[in-house]
Chain A
Amino acid sequence: MTVSLSGSEVAQKIAERFPQAIAEAGDEAILVKSESLFEVAEYLRSNPELDFNYLNHISAVDYYDYFEVVYLFTSLNHNHSLVLKTRCYNRENPSVPSVVRLWQAADYQEREIFDLMGISFEGHPNLKRIALWEGFEGHPLRRDYL
């Protein structure tokens, strides 16, 4: 069974390295501040006990006050998984660091989130619209579109 790691345990490990990064650590997920997302992700990937080498998916949810970007990592060797979340409170120009350099799986998924939700990812080499055509106005998956 893939063990879903408890957020609080991993949060302790992360807090040793990056004391400012954790905003909240629940049972199911860890909430990270968006500036330190890249360092935390890198630590999660390179730490041999955690060893999260597989990025399952990146989703974005539009709660009206903020956008929440959800990452699910799995370690194929240890068979455990972890949910990482980050929020951006800026409604006009939301922006989150990109993890494409760590996991190439993020490539198309981040482009899709940019296309449909409008969250731009800093550091992504090719941030263009992927599902809609160039020149489309607006971001359809937001709750206030139509």
Chain B
Amino acid sequence: MTPPLGTTLPCGNDPSRLITYAADQTAPPTGAHEATCPYCKAAIAEFVELWLPVREWVRRDIPLPQRFVATVMARVRRLVQSPHHAASVSARGTTTVTSWVLGLIASAATTDTPGVTRITGTPTDTHRRAAVRYGADGIDITEVDAVDIAVTLGITSEARPDLAGLADVVRHNVINAIHDHTTIQATEVDISIDDLEFNR
């Protein structure tokens, strides 16, 4: 039997509205018209029959690719053991990014943030005060949990009321820039506001 799609049942119901009962294998709620209407019940029965091959297709055997788990785990191990920061690892090779490159990206994202005058160095590296625009000096990159990274940097900002808000914007920009360029996730960005610049 074929469900009467595209027509109206003698009871006035649209048969396509009944398909959910057949597909989800649920009964119409007690008291609903379709729970007692013989035309609707017949249409539901036809949909159940029509749906049998779909159920068969759902249950079909799908052979897994050979050595699937081994391949995935090999990629993960290569990532964990990589001395650099791995941006991607595939069967065709590994792409790694050095801390220097990550520092460059973080530096650009920081100095492009309105309100930041320059990068002044990290709390542990304050002697590098002559940081060059788009240079990675003054930014520390460390690994976290073997895969993610933490960024530490110090900035000189314009004198403004909401310094914490400015730091949040820098943090957001650094995380996004590193992820967009390399897919590497910076889970922590510690920012030290080392100096203020007054424009009078």
Q: Does A pair with B?
A: no
Question: A residues bordering B, Cβ < 8 Å?
Answer: none
